[in-house]
Structure 1
Amino acid sequence: MPRQEPSLLVSIHDVSPKFEGKVDRLADLVSRDMPAPHYAMLVVPDHWGDSPIRAGTPFASRLRAWSDAGVDMFVHGWFHLDRSEHDGALAKFKAKRMTAGEGEFLGLDHDTARARMADGRKLIEDIIGRPAVGFIAPAWLYGDDAMRALGEEGFALAEDHIKVWRPATGEVVAKGPVITWASRSRWRIASSLAVAAVARAALPRRPWMRLAVHPGDTNVPALTDSIARTVASLSRGARFARYSELLPAAGA
Structure 2
Amino acid sequence: MAEHPGNARSLMLVLHDVAPETWPDYQPFVQAIDELGSVPMTWLVVPDFHQRNPLARSPTFCHLLERRLARGDELALHGYYHADDGPPPRGLGEYFMRRCYTHEGEFYALDQAQALQRLEAGLAVFGRQGWPVAGFVAPAWLMSEGTRQALRQLPLRYTSTPQHLYRLPDFTAYSAPGLVWSARSGWRRGLSKMVSDWQCRRWRDAPTLRLGLHPVDMRHASSRNYWLNTLRRLLSEGREPLTKSTWLARQASP
- With normalisation by structure 1, the TM-score equals 0.88
Instruction: Flag the structure with more relative contact order, 1 or 2, with Cα contacts below 8 A and sequence separation at least 6.
Output: 2
8 Å Cα contact 1:103/1:138 also seen in 2? yes
CA distance in 2: counterparts of 1:233 and 1:201, whole angstroms: 13
**How far off its partner does 1:105 sit?**
0.5
Percent of paired sites with the same residue: 26
The one-character-per-residue Cα deviations of 1:13-63 (angstroms, maximum 9, x if unpaired) are 111011121122232344443x42411000001110111101771111111
The corresponding residue for 1:169 is 170
Equivalent residue runs for 1:140-219 within 5 Å: 140-173=141-174, 175-219=175-219
CA distance in 2: counterparts of 1:31 and 1:197, whole angstroms: 25
8 Å Cα contact 2:75/2:131 also seen in 1? no
Q: Does 1:20 align with 2:23?
A: yes
8 Å Cα contact 1:91/1:106 also seen in 2? no
Change (3 A) 1:90 1:26: farther
8 Å Cα contact 2:181/2:213 also seen in 1? yes
The corresponding residue for 2:114 is 112
8 Å Cα contact 2:39/2:242 also seen in 1? no
Moved more, 89-98 or 213-222: 89-98
Aligned residues: 246
Change (3 A) 1:30 1:151: farther
Unaligned runs of 5+ in 2: none
- With normalisation by structure 2, the TM-score equals 0.88
Q: CA RMSD for the aligned pairs?
A: 2.2
Instruction: Please state whether the residue corresponding to 1:73 is helix, strand or coil.
Output: strand
Change (3 A) 1:54 1:130: closer
**How far off its partner does 1:132 sit?**
0.6
Instruction: Please state whether the residue corresponding to 2:21 is helix, strand or coil.
Output: helix
CA distance in 2: counterparts of 1:64 and 1:55, whole angstroms: 15
CA distance in 2: counterparts of 1:51 and 1:28, whole angstroms: 23
8 Å Cα contact 1:13/1:43 also seen in 2? yes
Moved more, 14-23 or 49-58: 49-58
